Every structure is written in structure tokens, then in C-alpha cells.
């Protein structure tokens, strides 16, 4: 996959702020009410941050799932060994013309993540057929009161018709305002006439 295919877009005039530690953020303008509300929304005022001190990752993607109304969720536990390899080897099946959503469960540890984004590129027979990007937001480290974050993405519609049926490959990336790659993985799905 061409590395440039998974680059996120930038908003003209948007400037990424200076990176600060959690302690710097907690003590920043302590008398500013609006800033205190923002810090609370990131969980900086609620409990002790949790995370494995031996794990350098700041965003830990724990689960991805395919959600289709009226059907059981297909969830993949990424904390299990070889889960990413299984995503590529065992394609999801999506009925042509059906609406589906992707959901991700994740943790943040060690620092505040600003501008977390979900990007993915879909290819069929090596030709790019779709590219999407969704802003997930900014998150503080998980605490006892927020052990896992969940984000459900916008509804997508599977293509329909005989020409749309077949196998597709996709590459997904989670990145942030600092252009840090938190996780990139390949997966596959099949568009079929029936489930």
C-alpha cells in the first residue's frame, strides 16, 4: 500500500498546539473555568490514570467490530495474539446494499491524545475504490471511571450489483494531530448477494 494513501487531510489555518505533559495540563491556568471544563472532559480531573508502565503505546486499540442492524456484531479482540493476522486472513462478509458501521474500543495511556483520526483505504484487485477519514477527537488517559473509550463510526453502505460482489482489501490507520501512527493494519471483506 502506498504510504500516502493513508495520510489524513489537514484543515487550512489549523495549527497543532504545543505538546504538554499531563501534569502541565492539570496545572495550566487553574483559574480558567472553560479550560477546567475541557480538562475534565479529557478525564484529567477524575481519578488516577491507568496504563502499563512497560507498554510505550499511547493509544491501545483493543477491539474492532462490524455492526449491522438486525445481525450479531462481528467483534475482533485485538488484545489476543495473532488477531491482526486473522483480520487479513478471515474476511468479513457484508451483504450487498446493506448498511453497516465500524466500532472501535480503545484505551489511552501516558499522555493526552489530540485529534485522533480513523483513516481507511479500500481496494479491489489492487485498485483504490474508497478512502474515508473520520475524526475521533481528543482523549485523556483512561482512569478507573473511564476504563475504555468506544467510538462508532458513520453508517456506510455496501455497494450492490453483480459487478460489486467480490473480495476487497482494506488498510486502516489510527493517527493523531502529531502524525503519530498508533496502529495500522490490513483486513479483508467480501461483498456477497446474501449473508
Domains of the chain: 18-192 (2.70.50.30)
Which residues lie below 8 Å from residue 164, measured CB to CB, with a gap of 6+?
Answer: 96, 158, 191
**pLDDT (0 to 100) of residue 188:** 93
pTM of the model: 0.77
Contact 172, 165 (CB under 8 A): no
**pLDDT (0 to 100) of residue 29:** 65
For the record, the C-alpha cell of 95 comes out as: 451483504
CA-CA distance, 165 to 96, in Å (whole number)?
A: 7
List average pLDDT for each run of 10 residues in the chain, which is 195 residues long.
62 63 62 72 64 91 93 93 90 92 94 92 93 92 87 93 94 94 95 92
**pLDDT (0 to 100) of residue 52:** 84
For the record, the C-alpha cell of 99 comes out as: 448498511
Sign of the C-alpha dihedral computed for residues 124, 127, 129 and 131 taken in this order = positive
Contact 76, 134 (CB under 8 A): no
Amino acid at each position: 500500500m502506498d504510504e500516502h494513501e493513508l495520510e489524513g487531510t489537514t484543515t487550512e489555518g489549523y495549527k497543532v498546539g504545543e505538546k504538554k505533559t499531563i501534569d502541565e495540563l492539570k496545572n495550566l491556568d487553574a483559574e480558567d473555568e472553560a479550560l477546567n471544563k475541557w480538562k475534565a472532559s479529557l478525564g484529567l480531573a477524575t481519578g488516577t490514570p491507568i496504563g502499563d508502565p512497560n507498554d510505550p503505546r499511547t493509544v491501545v486499540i483493543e477491539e474492532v467490530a462490524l455492526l449491522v442492524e438486525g445481525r450479531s456484531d462481528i467483534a475482533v479482540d485485538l488484545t489476543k495474539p495473532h488477531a491482526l493476522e486473522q483480520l487479513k486472513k478471515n474476511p468479513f462478509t457484508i451483504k450487498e446494499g446493506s448498511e453497516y458501521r465500524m466500532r472501535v474500543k480503545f484505551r489511552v495511556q501516558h499522555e493526552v491524545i489530540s485529534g485522533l483520526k480513523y483513516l481507511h483505504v479500500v481496494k479491489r484487485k489492487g485498485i483504490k475504490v474508497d478512502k474515508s477519514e473520520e475524526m475521533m477527537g481528543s482523549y485523556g488517559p483512561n482512569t478507573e471511571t473511564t476504563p475504555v473509550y468506544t467510538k462508532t463510526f458513520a453508517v456506510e453502505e455496501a455497494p450492490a450489483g453483480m459487478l460489486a460482489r467480490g473480495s476487497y482489501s482494506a488498510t486502516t490507520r489510527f493517527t493523531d494531530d502529531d502524525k503519530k501512527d498508533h496502529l495500522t493494519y490490513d483486513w479483508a471483506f467480501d461483498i456477497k448477494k446474501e449473508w
